[in-house]
Amino acid sequence: SQQGEEDPQALSIQEGENATMNCSYKTSINNLQWYRQNSGRGLVHLILIRSNEREKHSGRLRVTLDTSKKSSSLLITASRAADTASYFCATDEKNRDDKIIFGKGTRLHILP
Amino acid sequence: DSGVTQTPKHLITATGQRVTLRCSPRSGDLSVYWYQQSLDQGLQFLIQYYNGEERAKGNILERFSAQQFPDLHSELNLSSLELGDSALYFCASAQLALTDTQYFGPGTRLTVL
């Protein structure tokens, strides 16, 4: 079963609007990471948030982590056409360093 | 450009054949990871090597094997290919630990006919 699962599976919004994607996971973690993938390309690391952090910012990206709910959200503000991509969360398991699991991703489409 | 290179970019072959995918990690990265991405299974972790040694195993089939060489490049060998092996295969590298940021290569698209 998936450790991390993103929601929604797909999202279409108008350019300029904010996009929010969620990730839920099952076990306690050390870190949670968000990656972006443009169609057919390799994944690009966006941001890493540690289990003792609650919020992190990077440019137009804001990530929150709620370990009590085992969930994270990725907010992209003032979306642009170039943000059209799939977004994945990746989690490990606390006290293990031998496995990292990616969710199936959220496909984000920014409409002009 | 992530600094990770993968060859070939595309590969088309027939069922029952064997192929080798190659990956060169970023300069200075000791860990190499292999992933398989298909439409129905999403991104699946296959295997990790660290400084030449196998470090972690994921959902890797027995028909698949990998190795990391002294110069840290890695190869993924896929044998007795089946139609279901058609997928994008990504290599990623990281400095040390599994939870470090991973840098992904552009992928190899394998089509088995």
Q: What is the pLDDT of residue A95?
A: 67
Q: Alpha-carbon distance A58 to A25, whole Å? A: 22
Query: Do the Cβ atoms of A100 and A92 come closer than 8 Å?
Result: yes
Q: Alpha-carbon distance A74 to A62, whole Å? A: 6
Q: Alpha-carbon distance B98 to B94, whole Å? A: 7
Nearest to B101 among A41, A45, A105 (CB): A45
Q: Alpha-carbon distance B59 to B48, whole Å? A: 11
State the best of A1, A35, A43, A89 to mutate against chain B, taking most chain B CBs within 10 Å. A43
Q: What is the pLDDT of residue A97?
A: 60
Worst-scoring range by mean pLDDT, A5-9, A44-48, B81-85, B99-103?
Answer: B99-103
pLDDT category at A38 given cuts 50, 70, 90 is very high
CB contact under 8 A, B103 and A104: no
Mean pLDDT of A49-55: 95
The pLDDT tens digits for A86-111 are 999 998 877 666 677 888 899 999 99
Q: Alpha-carbon distance B92 to B102, whole Å? A: 6
Give yes or no for A40 touching B (CB within 8 A).
yes
CB atoms within 10 A of CB A64: 16
Q: What is the pLDDT of residue A1?
A: 43
List, as ranges, residues 8-37 from B with C-beta within 8 Å of A: 35
Mean pLDDT of B23-50: 90
Q: What is the pLDDT of residue B107?
A: 95
Question: Tokens for A106?
Answer: 């959220």
pLDDT at A2 over 60: no
Mean pLDDT of B47-69: 92
Question: Tokens for A76?
Answer: 């992209």
Find where tokens 């989690």 sit.
A91
Closest A-chain CA to B91: A42
Closest A-chain CA to B88: A40
